[in-house]
Amino acid sequence: MKQEFLLKIAFSCMACDGNIAEEEMNYLYKNFGQNNVIRCLVDSLKTRGAYFFTEFFTELERSQFTKEDELEIIKTSIDVIESDNSVEYSEIKFFKIIRSYLKISNKDILEYFPDKEDYIYEDVKRNYIDEYLLEVKDFDFRFEIK
């Protein structure tokens, strides 16, 4: 899997609730270090709003991942969500949407991430995407990055 797409996944998890914590940005810089790509993602989100996420889900749906790719997606998503030491349920729901595009079993996820049961409990399905996109369209993506 390309690092740029993994960065987009991490960025989407970070921005999914309309807020970007400094710790989340620090995580991106530390783990990806691609300031210009991050700035492009921020600019795209600011100008496109909810459509940014529509395209993200479409890209996710069209992608083919190996089991290792999927584990990396899961790890990165959880790491970003937990990077600010404040896990909101909206972030977990967003993770569950991403997870709905992956083929890996819950059993395999728990084998690698045994303390993350809350992230895989199946209370959110892909049909939540429409509801999420309606919610996101009202977000004000005017944050600044350093």
Q: Is the pLDDT of residue 122 over 90?
A: no
Residue 145 has a pLDDT of 56
pTM, two decimal places? 0.85
What's residue 35's pLDDT? 80
Is 80 exceeded by the pLDDT of residue 97?
A: yes
pLDDT band, very low/low/confident/very high, at 73 (cuts 50, 70, 90): very high
Per-residue pLDDT, 89 = 85
Residue 109 is predicted with a pLDDT of 94
Q: Provide the pLDDT confidence category of residue 141 given band limits of 50, 70 and 90.
A: low
Across 28-52, average pLDDT: 89
pLDDT at 70 over 80: yes
Helix residue ranges per DSSP H, 16-138 = 22-32, 35-48, 50-62, 67-82, 89-100, 106-112, 117-120, 128-136
- Expressed in angstroms, the distance from the first to the final Cα of the chain is 27
